[in-house]
Amino acid sequence: MSKVIIACQTISDELNLAMRATGCSYPVIRMASDYHMDPNLLRAKLQEEIDKLTDFQDVLLAYGCCGNGLVGLKASTAGLIIPRTEDCISMVLSRPGEKFERLKRTYFLTRGWLQGSKSIAAEYEHACERYGEARARKLFKFMLKNYNYLMVIDTGAYPLADCLSKAEELAGNTGLEVVVSKGSVWLLQKLLTGPYDEDFSVIPRGGTVNSSHFGMAGAAPAHQAI
């Protein structure tokens, strides 16, 4: 076997679509979404998985830089191939060859993001249970004071209707406006098929991921794990 995929559960739907579209059948190790809240923990958990691998030439990491959670990873058992992107938002909203500009005052959602145990929906439910609905609304008004929009990204990888109705309910409770934007799984598909051009960083076995592998902090010396 030559390649294995390690992917965040958050983009499970999108990875499944990309695999179907490309006929890819590499084994997939799926990691809990919650690690993204703690980049150090994410790095440690990913390293654990990489260290356990045997007989693979390359690991395809279905991640972005993810709060520097991937910076510092060692290609201990196989080469690492990583999309040069900031996080899963830029991964599904960017377009080939274009610089990604993050929309301001916007909270992003897909079905995968809603399903996380610490998703905004889970947060709201928890707040309602603990503090009652009126207080929860006040807390969320405060929490989301810098946001105007709740953007549902239609990646084509899941039925939009369910996600949209949950988003509308959430928006009603938090005073945000729902917008829908078309996303894409082109970068994930390219991760599965190659070519591994400027959209990816390839870290040979024995190497270490650094920030320049994500096209950020380009001027930093290679030894700096930014």
Partner 1 sequence: MKDWGEKEKELIKYVEQLDEENVLKLADELLNAGMDPLYLLDLVNEGMNRVGKLYESKDYYIADLIMAGLIFKQVLGLDKMIAQFQVGQINKIGKVLLGTVKGDIHDIGKDIFRGMLEANGFDVMDLGVDVPKEMFLKKYEEYAPHILGLSGVLTTTVDTMKEVVDAFVQAGVRDKVRIIAGGNHLTAEACRYIGADGFASDASVGVKICKEWMSCAGGQGAIHHG
Binding site for partner 1 (CB under 8 A): 34, 37-39, 64-69, 71-72, 86-87, 102, 104-105, 118, 122-124, 126-127, 130-131, 136, 139-140, 142-143, 146-147, 211, 214, 216-217, 220, 224-226
Residue 44 or 53 with smaller CB distance to partner 1: 44
Beta strand pairing call for 200-203 and 79-83? antiparallel
CB of residue 135 to partner 1, shortest distance in Å: 8
SS3 70: coil
Q: How far is the CB of 5 from partner 1 (least distance, A)?
A: 22
Rounded Cα distance, 110 and 114, in Å? 6
Q: Which is nearer to partner 1, 78 or 80 (CB)?
A: 80
In angstroms, give the least distance from the CB of 46 to partner 1.
Answer: 15
Rounded distance between C-alpha atoms, residue 140 and residue 120, angstroms: 10
Write out 106-131 in H/E/C secondary structure: EEEECHHHHHCCCCHHHHHHHHHHHH
Which residue, 56 or 140, is less far from partner 1 as judged by CB? 140
**Nearest approach, Cβ of 183 to partner 1 (angstroms)?**
18
The rounded distance, in Å, linking the Cα atoms of 56 and 49 is 12
Give min distance, CB of 112 to partner 1, in A: 19
Q: What is the DSSP letter of 208?
A: B
The Cβ-side half-sphere exposure at 191, using a 13 Å CA radius, reads: 30
Measured from the CB atom, the residue of 119 and 155 that comes closer to partner 1 is 119
Closest to partner 1 by CB, 37 or 182: 37
The helix/strand/coil state of 27 is coil
